């Protein structure tokens, strides 16, 4: 899928964010290598620490649908510069190898990067422990 189509899906997902505490809505759209699309939006909770980011929701939806090979992900939020995924999401992305990550904001700014660039030296139990 083209990046602008995936961005449109991420923006649509962002509208579904449940963010009454931060009022900061984030949308994500993940394309698998098999061509499936999984979207995510952040879901917050009164117990703030239980809130879940858009990126992880999209990834977890894909994983429980049997998809673990990812082509690319778009993340979008209403930030000045492009949105910057949190450290936890970067670690969760890295579990599934290196794939393209397209960061965007609502004003049309876009930055293309990838998981390795977002989290150099990620911990990997499969690699780092005998
Ligand atoms: N959030 C995301 O969903 N993704 C990001 O990349 C940054 C942060 C959410 C978590 C929380 O619901 C809100 O944005 C404010 O931190």
CA dist 69 and 36 (Å) reads: 10
- What does pTM read for this prediction? 0.97
Q: Is the confidence at residue 128, as pLDDT, over 90?
A: no
Q: What angle do CA 86, 91, 92 make, to 5 degrees?
A: 100
Ligand 1 site, CB within 6 A: 19, 22, 24, 26, 42, 44, 51, 53-55, 75, 83, 85-86, 89
Strands annotated E in 1-130: 26-32, 37-41, 70-77, 100-105, 110-114
Residue of 11, 47, 53 with the most ligand 1 atoms within 8 Å of its CB, for mutation: 53
Mean pLDDT for 78-91 is 98
94 sits in which H/E element: helix 87-94
**58-79 pLDDT tens trace:** 999 999 999 999 999 999 999 9
Mean pLDDT for 33-41 is 98
Residue of 46, 77, 87 with the most ligand 1 atoms within 8 Å of its CB, for mutation: 77
CA of 24 to the centre of ligand 1 (A): 7
**Residues 62-93: b if buried by 16+ CB within 10 A, e if exposed:** beeeebeebbbbbbbbebeebbebeeebbbbb
């Amino acid at each position: 899928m083209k990046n602008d189509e995936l961005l449109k899906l991420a923006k649509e997902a962002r509208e579904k964010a449940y963010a009454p505490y931060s009022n900061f809505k984030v949308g994500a759209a993940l394309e698998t290598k098999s061509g499936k699309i999984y979207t995510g939006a952040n879901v917050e909770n009164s117990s703030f620490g239980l809130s879940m980011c858009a990126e992880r929701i999209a990834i977890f939806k894909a994983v429980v649908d049997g998809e673990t090979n990812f082509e690319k992900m778009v993340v979008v939020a209403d930030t000045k510069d492009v949105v910057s995924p949190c450290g936890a999401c970067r670690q969760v992305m890295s579990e599934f190898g290196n794939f393209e990550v397209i960061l965007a904001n609502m004003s049309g700014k876009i930055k293309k990067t990838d998981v390795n660039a977002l989290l150099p030296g990620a911990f990997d139990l499969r690699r780092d422990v005998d």
